[in-house]
Amino acid sequence: MIVTRFAPSPTGHLHLGHAYSALFAYEAAQKEGGRFLLRIEDIDPVRCRPEFTAAIFEDLRWLGLTWEEPVRQQSKHMHQYAALLFKLRDAGVLYPCFCTRSDVVAEAANAGHAPHEGPDGPLYPGTCRQLSDKEAADKLAEHKTANWRLYVEKALEITGPLTWHDRAKGKIEARPQEFGDVVIARKDVPTSYHLSVTVDDHLQGVTLVTRGEDLFRATDIHCLLQALLGYPTPDYHHHPLMLDAEGKRHAKRDKSVTLRALRESGITVEEIRRKLSFGGS
Ligand code: GLU
């Protein structure tokens, strides 16, 4: 049976782009008589707020969506992510990194160039990968905490080449190396977006991951983590992003297009659905 999910982060109020993504996942499940899940991706203790979580429930109910209870809230499952982090560390594919953002820029400047750009910003030059076990252990003792990065090249040696399937674009060859050694666990929490999303989609039995095109290449990393953790790779469908009148993507900072602002201005759910081309409810 098909299982889809909508997985917002409670860092602001939902806007039209989220409504599109939520309806897309919901209808994909409905069309095939499947299940729809809602998940709250609140691993970031600074940016996520409980009032935004409450607002997400309210806005999605207003849109007419229903979902299975209990809703998985990532902040309540840190111990699970930590256990999988140890598993990856024991497999020898992680290393602790003590660099700050400015260290990364300075390192590139020393090498005589600006940092190389990956799909997600400057590529990590791999400085801490060179540390010996003893140096890493000493630094861990000194700093108490570190970012844990995925040694992508080594991970790919273990898994071999990987592919995944997108319902819109077909078979995709994974190129996680384009992101460089991504952070898998942050200094402040024993996880990251990449780890939590991969673990949860598996644990919740999601069979079709639907989400915006902006996360298309991130799937390469998730596919690599699935192979390392022994998870099957689900099917994916990355949908186009909703653009505003100026052709820019909706962002949480655009207060004018939050669902609650639209609702307060008197717009109906039917109008929203029409605007997003989802037809009548
Ligand atoms: N939590 C992510 C976001 O709000 C979405 C993650 C996903 O759908 O994979 O952008």
C-alpha of residue 98 to centroid of ligand 1, in Å: 27
- Interhelix angle for 78-90 vs 193-203, to 10°? 100
Atom 3 of ligand 1, nearest CA residue: 8
C-alpha of residue 92 to centroid of ligand 1, in Å: 28
Please give the number of the atom of ligand 1 that sits closest to the Cα of 18. Answer: 4
Q: What is the pLDDT of residue 104?
A: 82
Q: What is the pLDDT of residue 255?
A: 59
CATH superfamily of 1-76+243-281: HUPs (3.40.50.620)
Mutate to test the pocket of ligand 1, among 60, 215, 252 (most ligand atoms within 8 A of CB): 215
Q: Strand locations in the chain, DSSP E? A: 3-6, 35-40, 72-73, 94-97, 117-118, 121-122, 147-150, 163-166, 170-173, 183-185, 208-212, 235-239
Q: Do the beta carbons of residue 36 and residue 4 sit within 8 Å?
A: yes
C-alpha of residue 142 to centroid of ligand 1, in Å: 34
Atom 6 of ligand 1, nearest CA residue: 7
**Pocket residues for ligand 1 (CB within 6 Å)?**
7-9, 41, 197, 211, 215
Mutate to test the pocket of ligand 1, among 71, 197, 206, 242 (most ligand atoms within 8 A of CB): 197
Please give the number of the atom of ligand 1 that sits closest to the Cα of 210. Answer: 8
Q: What is the pLDDT of residue 170?
A: 98
Please give the number of the atom of ligand 1 that sits closest to the Cα of 6. Answer: 8
Per-10-residue mean pLDDT for the chain, 281 residues long? 98 95 97 98 97 98 97 98 97 96 82 81 91 95 94 98 98 97 96 98 98 96 98 97 74 73 95 85 48
Q: Where are the domains of the chain?
A: 1-76+243-281, 77-204+221-231
Q: Do the beta carbons of residue 17 and residue 242 sit within 8 Å?
A: yes
C-alpha of residue 169 to centroid of ligand 1, in Å: 20
Q: What is the pLDDT of residue 245?
A: 67
Q: Do the beta carbons of residue 220 and residue 178 sit within 8 Å?
A: yes
Please give the number of the atom of ligand 1 that sits closest to the Cα of 215. Answer: 9
Q: In the sheet where 147-150 sits, what is the strand order?
A: 94-97, 147-150, 183-185
User: Fold for domain 77-204+221-231?
Assistant: Glutamyl-tRNA Synthetase; domain 3 (3.90.800)
Residues 6+ apart with CB under 8 A from 1: 33, 34, 35, 207
Q: Do the beta carbons of residue 23 and residue 276 sit within 8 Å?
A: yes
Q: What is the pLDDT of residue 168?
A: 96
